Every structure is written in structure tokens, then in C-alpha cells.
């Protein structure tokens, strides 16, 4: 079985016959000890196998769905192998949990969450499904509502992927910009302005997408070019500092020593010394 949540949901949505009976968990009787009870609505979907659930007072079979309203509870009695997908509709995000019971132990196969954003489509669908508890025999309508909820979940998962992709693309573009303009007097504000984003969002991109912060990346890029100039050109240290975007040559020397444990002059001498030794050895 695939552990990709989007694929699992898509299969249920695109094949109308996949969704079977929509059950509704108890909201009136008190929850027994060890029952699953939270303050947010949930969908429990049986993907493989079957089990009894005291919360719905029924036997859940393959592709049956149990709707547990906020404050409601369910109490599955797993006796044979079964795989279930649980979807928790929190206020800020959706939580997906794929669980397999092998007959003796429970195994978490996959967990995922996605932020709830945009129109409150999910909230309206959940409210409609909650009202369906008064008419549980209207299964065709209940299945359509559940399918719509699953489709909404897919949309949110898809938008999360697109957002991550856009963030990565923007981060790559900013990094290329720094690599090309490292010699210019770049600042967090000037780079953010070049890409029409806020300085705070620029920092967020580096924290979330990159391995280092903006200033660290900028300094790293400048120091890499400084090493190349020290190796290949007989320029003064001050000239190299300015050519790599460092206005203060003293600051450049301190930063260079911090990263290499050598001053720029020592780095150059050591490089040329090693180069001379290699030539002598090869001759």
C-alpha cells in the first residue's frame, strides 16, 4: 500500500464506489476509558481490514468512514490486521495519520500535517456533515460531503507543495543574485528590495530553505572569491577585500582568520609554499 496521503485520498475521490458507509460517532454517551476523544472533528477511514468500534456501535469495514465530531469519541476494537487513515481538522492545520495494526501491535506508517488557509470551505463541509448525523440514512449525500472534504484536503496538500516549490525557486534566485553581485555593497534590505519582498521574509527564506542565514551566506560567498584572488593574483589584501565587497579591510582580515585560522597573507604564503613543494616533488 502507498503511504503517500495525497495518492490515498485521490483514489478514494476519483472512484465513487470506493467510499462505502459513512458512520457517525457518539456525541451523547460518556466516553469510556481509553477511548479516542479530542476537541476537533475527525474522519477515520478504513483502508484495509475491518474492526468493531464502540463509538459508532457498528463494525467498520474496508472503505467505511467514521465521522467523529468535536468532543465526540470512538473506541476501535482491533482483532485482525487493519490499516486506517485518520484526518484531524484542527483550527490552524490538518493532521493526517496512517496507522497499521498487525494483530498484536500498532505501527505508525506515516504522519503529515498541512496548514489550513484560504476560504473556510472545510469548516462549512464539516458543519454540513455534523448536521447529517440527524439523517444518517442519507448515505448518498453523506458520501458526497465526505468526498468533498477529502478533495479539500488534497487541495491543501497540493498548495503546500506549490508553496514550498515557489519558496525554493525564490531562494535559488536570491542565491544566484548574491553569487553574481557579491562585490557590490549588498545588504539584507537591498537584496529584499531587488526581489520585492520584505527583509524579514528574506531572513525567513534563508532560515527555512537554506543551511545558513543571509549574512553567513553573503560572507561565505565573498570569502570564497577572496581565496581565489589570494591564490591567483598578487593583489594587496586591501584590494582583495574591496574587490570582494568588504568595505573594511580590517573586518575582512578578522573574518578570514575566523574562518580559516590564518590571516589572508598567511593563507597566500601557505598556498604558494605547498604549490612549490608539489612542483619540486613532481620534478
Task: At 155, list the grid cell.
Answer: 487541495
Torsion, Cα 256 258 260 265, to 10 degrees, reads: 40
Task: State percent of the chain over pLDDT 90.
Answer: 48
CATH: 3.40.50.2000, 1.10.4160.10, 1.10.340.30, 1.10.10.60. Which one for 216-282?
Answer: 1.10.10.60
Query: CA nearest 2: which of 87, 100, 145, 101?
Result: 100
pLDDT of residue 283 exceeding 60 = no
pLDDT band, residue 249 (cuts 50/70/90): very high
The whole-chain average pLDDT of the chain stands at 87
pLDDT at 168 (0 to 100)? 82
Between CA 120 and CA 83 the distance in angstroms is 30
Query: CA nearest 253: which of 237, 242, 269?
Result: 237
* Coil, strand or helix at 183: coil
pLDDT tens string 205-217: 888 876 789 999 9
Between CA 271 and CA 278 the distance in angstroms is 11
Q: What is the DSSP letter of 32?
A: P
Whole-model pTM over 0.75? no
pLDDT of residue 28 exceeding 60 = yes
pLDDT at 18 (0 to 100)? 80
pLDDT tens string 49-105: 998 888 777 889 999 999 999 888 888 888 899 999 999 998 888 899 999 999 888
Q: Can you spell out the DSSP letters for 85-147?
A: EEEEE-SSEEEEEEEEE-SS-EEEEEEEEEE--SS-HHHHHHHHHHHGGG-TT-HHHHHHHHH
Between CA 62 and CA 46 the distance in angstroms is 5
Domain ranges in the chain are 5-162, 164-210, 216-282
Host H or E run for residue 189 = helix 188-194
pLDDT of residue 46 exceeding 90 = yes
Amino acid at each position: 500500500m502507498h503511504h503517500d496521503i495525497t495518492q490515498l485520498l485521490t483514489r478514494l475521490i476519483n472512484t465513487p464506489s470506493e467510499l462505502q458507509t459513512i458512520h457517525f460517532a457518539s456525541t451523547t454517551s460518556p466516553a469510556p476509558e481509553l477511548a479516542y476523544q479530542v476537541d476537533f472533528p475527525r474522519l477515520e477511514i478504513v483502508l484495509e481490514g475491518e474492526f468493531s468500534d464502540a463509538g459508532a456501535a457498528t463494525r467498520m469495514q474496508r472503505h467505511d468512514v467514521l465521522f467523529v465530531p468535536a468532543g465526540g469519541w470512538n473506541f476501535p476494537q482491533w482483532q485482525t490486521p487493519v490499516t486506517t487513515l485518520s484526518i484531524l481538522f484542527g483550527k490552524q492545520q490538518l493532521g493526517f495519520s496512517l496507522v497499521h495494526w498487525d494483530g498484536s501491535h500498532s505501527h505508525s506508517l506515516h504522519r503529515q500535517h498541512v496548514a489550513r488557509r484560504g476560504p473556510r470551505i472545510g469548516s462549512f463541509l464539516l458543519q454540513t456533515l455534523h448536521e447529517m448525523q440527524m439523517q444518517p440514512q442519507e448515505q448518498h449525500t453523506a458520501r458526497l460531503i465526505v468526498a468533498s472534504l477529502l478533495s479539500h484536503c488534497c487541495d491543501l496538500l497540493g498548495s503546500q507543495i506549490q508553496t514550498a516549490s515557489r519558496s525554493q525557486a525564490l531562494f535559488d534566485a536570491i542565491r544566484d543574485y548574491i553569487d553574481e553581485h557579491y562585490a557590490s555593497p549588498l545588504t539584507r534590505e537591498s537584496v529584499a528590495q531587488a526581489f520585492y519582498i520584505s527583509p524579514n521574509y528574506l531572513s525567513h527564506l534563508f532560515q527555512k530553505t537554506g543551511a545558513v542565514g543571509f549574512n553567513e551566506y553573503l560572507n561565505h560567498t565573498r570569502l570564497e572569491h577572496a581565496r581565489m584572488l589570494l591564490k591567483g593574483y598578487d593583489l594587496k589584501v586591501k584590494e582583495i577585500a574591496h574587490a570582494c565587497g568588504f568595505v573594511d579591510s580590517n573586518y575582512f582580515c578578522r573574518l578570514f582568520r575566523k574562518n580559516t585560522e590564518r590571516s589572508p597573507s598567511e593563507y597566500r604564503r601557505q598556498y604558494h609554499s605547498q604549490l612549490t613543494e608539489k612542483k619540486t616533488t613532481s620534478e
